[in-house]
Structure 1
Amino acid sequence: MIIFGVILIILGVLLSIPVLYSIGVIIAVFGVILWVLGSMGRAVGGRDHWY
């Protein structure tokens, strides 16, 4: 999600489309939040383990 958000941010800046930039920022921040929660050992999305 973080990579997808960064790609949308870059596309939004290069193509001058503010909607892509805004959505990219939201997705990137959400991805970082999930990454931090997962690294703290909390269950993310109802999953304790990733197989």
Structure 2
Amino acid sequence: MVRIIAVLLAIWLALTILGAVVKGVFWLAVVGGVLFLGTAAYGAIKSRSKT
């Protein structure tokens, strides 16, 4: 019984760490996407003003 509880605790800990990593990577991807779109829009505006 103790072994089953230990395995379940290990699985729970692994899922907790994985969830935190995925959540962090998700927000980094969102920020990166916003910055990419902002840079693309800025470049499009600048190139349009030169022509």
- The two structures have a TM-score, normalised by structure 1, of 0.49
- The two structures have a TM-score, normalised by structure 2, of 0.49
Higher relative contact order (CA 8 A, sep 6+): 1
